[in-house]
Structure 1
């Protein structure tokens, strides 16, 4: 198929585009920033451009991975999030439906599931989060617009019969966290694979699985995260003494961590359950916390990317232009 991939120059796009080609698809990349897999420069908020891409490239399916993200809140006004994340998604859905498509994959985020109360982690137990969790009350403009875009996907299925798969991916960015100072870097990413992270490679694989299964499923929303070793019964203990729960599941984890100068989390406030994706999509992340421990035992490379110097291509472009903003993807 000829796949329109938005966000083709971004972190996910650079891994997803080669996988799509490897599966026999032709990739037409759309992004505001140049990239190896970007054929069209521009924004999904530009309806005329989107229509031109569909007409000029014979698009047969869409993976909508572009958009503004949580770190962009300090860079762009709220209206930009509406224009890109909401109007841009509507533009793509309407063009896909008009073209008679039978599948559309949308990259969403687990961030929209985190209310202010959940973020503050004030309860006595970890919060177990899956597709049935709610009420969903996003805490910022990023989450609000992603939730609105999810709603547009659902309506496209109900009203136009366009099969739409929404992937609520947990964290897979390579840079340092912008809100957590300790532990930092690789230590934090390793810890998060227990309950709120996946690798970018697994994120890309999930999109391929969604693309394949979309017509059969029709519409679905799926949490995509590394499989957690925990169960709901662990929630209270995870909040009170996560390190003990981890040591029970992985007896050599404390020693392996200590040898590297790392620390296990003292408490865990939320856990993402990706079980539905495994049961319905047939997708399970290949990399989990056990893979981290295996790398530590063997002295090998860690199974996830960490790049503190990473800058989004769209932001690199803004810097090259003297901070004059590019129209977001």
Structure 2
């Protein structure tokens, strides 16, 4: 299959491109920064470039993973988010529909589901988040522009018949959190696999699954996160005493964490439910919290990447 992959130099792109190559797909990587899997340097906001690429290659599919992200809020003006995340997505959708592409997979974010109330942990229980959450009240320009791009995707499916799947990914970045530093990066990532994180490898595999399922589904929106061990009935206790819930499910977690010098979460304010992706895409993340504990028991390498010094390729070259 001839595929345009945007964001090919980024963290997701560098995991996704090899999977596509291994399948025998013909992948053209587009990114503003150079990378091993990037054939074209440029921006999705450059409509002329986008049109030329589609006319030259006749792409059958688009995997649109390129974007400005939440940490970029500190580095870029609001207009840049609109240009890249909204106008860039529109240029790709229009080109895909015009040239008869058979599928379009859009990398979105669970961040757009987090209102100020959820972010502040208001209420007496953890928010249980699945695709039925409404209304969506994103709290920053990143979430607002990704939400707008999602609506463009829906519109192009409804009006032009373009098969589009939207993947709202949980956290999979390798660097430290840019706002929370109370725990080490490894400790925080391990905790998040309980309720809001997945590995880059799993995120990439999910995109391949969506690519294959898109024509048959037509349109769909899916949360991607490691399968949570919690049930909806745990929501109240997760907010009050998350360690007690974890202890019931994983009796040796406290010991293993103490041996590693880590801390379990005292409270959990949200849980992403990725069940719909499993039911409709046939995809389930391979790495979960149990995998972290297995590594801690045996001294094996942790099953996720952590790189406190990671810098996005776009920041290495400027924009």
Pairwise TM-score range, normalised by the shorter structure: over 0.9
For 2:186 and 2:276, the matched residues in 1 are separated by 28
In structure 1, what is the equivalent of residue 97 of structure 2? 97
User: Which deviations, in whole Å up to 9, do the C-alpha atoms of 1:143-184 show, x marking residues without a partner?
Assistant: 000000000000111000000000000000000001111122
Q: SS of 1:34's equivalent? A: coil
Aligned length: 319
Q: Deviations 1:216-245 (Å, cap 9, x if unpaired)?
A: 000000000000000110000000000110
Report the equivalent of 1:14. 14
1:178 is the counterpart of 2:178: yes
- In the alignment, structure 1 residue 85 sits paired with structure 2 residue 85: yes
1:36-77 CA distance string (max 9 Å, x none): 111111100010000111112221110000010000001111
**Residue 23 (structure 1) shift:** 1.6
SS where residue 38 of structure 1 aligns? coil
3-state SS in 2 of match to 1:3: strand
Partner Cα separation in structure 2 for residue 33 and residue 163 of structure 1: 29
Distance in 2, Cα, partners of 1:25 & 1:51? 21
Runs of 4+ in 1 over 3 A off after TM superposition: none
Q: Can you list the C-alpha shifts for 1:270-290, whole angstroms capped at 9, x where unaligned?
A: 000000000001100000000
Q: Are 2:262 and 1:296 aligned?
A: no
CA distance in 2, matches of 1:118, 1:254: 27
TM-score when scaled to structure 2?
0.99
Partner secondary structure for residue 39 of structure 2? strand
Separation in 2, partners of 1:20, 1:240: 44
Hey, what does 1:159 align to over in structure 2?
A: 159
Supply the distance in 1 between the matched residues of 2:154 and 2:113 (Cα, whole angstroms).
Answer: 17
Report SS of the residue matched to 1:237.
Answer: helix
How much has 1:141 moved relative to structure 2? 0.4
User: What is the aligned partner in structure 2 of residue 321 from structure 1?
Assistant: none
- State how far apart, in whole Å, the 2-side matches of 1:58 and 1:39 are: 16
Aligned position for 1:55: 55
Contact 1:177 1:184 in 2 (8 A): no
Q: Residue 128 of structure 1 corresponds to which residue in structure 2?
A: 128
**Correspondence 1:232 to 2:246:** no
The corresponding residue for 2:145 is 145
Q: Is the 8 A contact 1:174 1:305 kept in 2?
A: yes
* Structure 1 spans left out of the alignment, 5+ residues: 319-325
Q: Retained in 2: the 8 A contact 1:257–1:263?
A: yes
5 Å-filtered alignment, 1:190-201, equals 190-201=190-201
Contact 1:30 1:42 in 2 (8 A): yes
> Is 1:27 aligned with 2:23?
no
Q: Distance in 2 between matches of 1:23 and 1:134?
A: 38
Alignment check: 8 A CA contact 1:130 1:272 kept = yes
**CA positional deviation for 1:122:** 2.2
Cα RMSD, aligned residues only: 0.6
In the aligned structure 1, how far is the partner of 2:280 from the partner of 2:59? 27
